Amino acid sequence: MHTAVAVWSLVVNPGTKETVIPPSDIQIHVKGLSLGAELKDKDGRSSLKLSYEFVSPPDDDDDDDDEEKEDDGEARLVTREVILGSLTPGKIEQASVDIVLDDEDEYIFEVVGKNPVHIYGNYIRDSNRSWGDDEDDSDEEEAFHLGDVSSDVEVDPAELGGIDSDDVAMEEDSARFEEIAEEPKGKKRLAEKIDDGEKAATKAEKKAAKKQKGENGVAIPKEDSMKETKEEKKEGKKEKKKDKEEKKKEGKAAGEVKALAGGVQVKDIKVGSGPGAQKGQSIKMRYIGKLTDGKIFDSNTKGKPFVFRLGAGEVIKGWDVGVVGMKAGGERELTIPAPMAYGKRKTGDIPPNSTLKFEVKLLSIE
């Protein structure tokens, strides 16, 4: 069974060849092609060609030359080309495709025509395959991003310099992250009724206290009858003061930029509540991924949340390091240097050696 992991896309321009190598244990499901918003040739047809290699057994050799057959005693590496689709402005501007690119195989895309062709789909993984254990893979050179892998990281994270905290920016409007749980109808009104009932009960207690009498029939002094109520108020003030101090501490923690392993930097915008996320737990997240120039290359802000197991190597190392300790409802900024993300490899719209920034919100921990 295949499970979608993250969105994948690629733009192929005329005159250039784009090489795609799906990362280890991850496949790419190509779903469609389309023309871009701007056309260089408004009448001509543009076709997308795919070139790939595969191992051909000796039986595939149709050559009648006996000497060549003797040389083909072993399997051969054969290159094949196929046209995935042809697009014409005003006639066919989008085409459906249904192919899967296997992990660690090389695929070359090329446009025959004058218009750029956009390819889109998603990363997938086989749920029947093993995806590692809960041990920390920080010593490995491979990095994972939302199910993607970088295999060419050569920079030692210890050699990284500090990252300017001014580069870490978060939009104030956190409402752009869609919540997955809705408050039941009437809940607010029910809370109001409970509050009203508590107020009424307090008034009734005070009234009853005024009418209390001792064993000798003499009314109990007002001070004695209200002593318990005053003590309760005092305890309530202590609790409020304690809560205020805790919130103050959380507020200070939310404003700090912390440096973690591998040069990853985190800044809590909102602390959240409950226990912090730990390795091995299943995490539901919303996120927005940006380059340092502010360009968004990936996001999940509504619909089905992104789910992964923390510390299991299912995401880039920067996420496995930077999400630890977050609480449900918390929001955090992650600034991840290239060695903890994609390294020197170009992936989609992400250039080589890119520092990545993520705005993340933890929805729930399981």
Which of the residues are catalytic?
287, 297-298, 316, 342, 358
Cβ atoms within 10 Å of 107's Cβ, excluding its own: 18
The residues near 1 (Cβ < 8 Å, ≥ 6 apart) are: 126, 127, 128
CA 133 to chain centre: 20
Q: How many CA atoms lie within 13 A of 232 on its CB side?
A: 8
Residue in this structure with the two tokens 């009104």, named with its chain if needed: 189
335: nearest Cα among 352, 319, 357: 357
Residue 94 and residue 87 in contact, taking contact as beta carbons nearer than 8 Å: yes
11: nearest Cα among 120, 147, 148: 120
